[in-house]
Structure 1
């Protein structure tokens, strides 16, 4: 028994082979998780075809007839009356108001929740204040811009807007290119069609408060090349919108 114990002690006293430490790859260090952007490009609708020669000939023929003015009969305005949460003649889109509570609110317009935003505006009012204003009832936001004599562009491509909220001037709205944070918000909400809440953020200090959002279906109604309106329909099924955003070029 003593001989076996001595052999064990000798084996323990022999130098053991040392393991060489392997350098740690920088890719092994954990990084904060970011959502992978999988948003799609908005669909490019085909331009309307130009009228053919036959159509022009028929139109010129009708213009040769004398104009008869009919009697004017008052007709009730039911053109934009909401039916089943949808405005006749409007195009359904996705609209999102989001931002830190004490910072300026952003407005993003998308064809659907899985598309890249076609418009992002930074509005001149804090997020918390606008959400509080919307909680009191019907809210109307008017964004006005001036016509440019030389450069002609689409209405939603204008960059600077004067903002009014319920007939009170509250500052300005500025169009901006989507930042990494904007795309992360859109990606986090890609499965949300409508709702409101708080989004997770990497900013642990949060001096401007929590990152809140409100998403809903927008009905886009184009009045002319200088006027567009986005209506947020009441999800309870009541008649009339609860939020209206008017874009006007004057």
Structure 2
């Protein structure tokens, strides 16, 4: 049975549900591409978490695939969403180079920065049944943000909020990748970039 998603209403921030308009997304992808040094491909990102708990980032290659990356950031969800409301958020994730030749996104632990400020660490983990349930609930949401139904609320950590968007993944080198959020409204909405770097 499909579960209805309760969307946030009358919020002052700028990341409410937006319609998916492919021509605008393509123009945004072209604009991003001119700023990039490597090839880009489309990824689906989920950002979700209880308001007082750490936010989770999940990456899918397509809406029906299992997530290729589940990452917990060392920042409360409410703080992350508040920073998104400022209009520009850059997340930098750094780790040390190692002798092995693992893929960049397979690194287990990262030092995390938000707009240049260290926010602690980010850790990779396996997808749980809760992660998969959230993605299933949000399957019909192409882009937007909101609050999941009340039965997902935690009595201590509060409501479970989410944001879903399309991102371009740009592979700059084997030690550097960037995810750019594609905004269908051009430059009028929030911008989010995530940088993965081995140093």
The counterpart of 1:228, out of the listed 142, 159, 177, is: 177
Greater relative CO (CA pairs within 8 A, separation 6+): 2
CA contact (8 A) 1:113 1:191 kept: no
Q: How does 1:50-129 map to 2 (within 5 A)?
A: 84-86=27-29, 87-88=32-33, 89-129=39-79
CA contact (8 A) 2:55 2:77 kept: yes
SS in 1 for 2:172: strand
Q: Distance in 2 between matches of 1:241 and 1:136?
A: 7
Shift of residue 137 of structure 1? 1.6
Structure 1: segments with no counterpart, 5+ residues:
1-32, 36-81
Structure 2: segments with no counterpart, 5+ residues:
4-24, 34-38
**TM value normalised by structure 1:** 0.64
RMSD over equivalenced CA pairs, Å = 2.2
Structure-2 residue corresponding to 1:195: 144
Structure-2 residue corresponding to 1:164: 113
List 4+ stretches of structure 1 deviating above 3 A: 201-205
CA gap 1:240/1:205 in 2 versus in 1, 3 angstroms: closer
Structure-2 residue corresponding to 1:133: 83
**TM value normalised by structure 2:** 0.80
Over alpha carbons, which structure has the higher Rg? 1
Q: Which has the higher strand share?
A: 2
CA contact (8 A) 1:231 1:241 kept: no
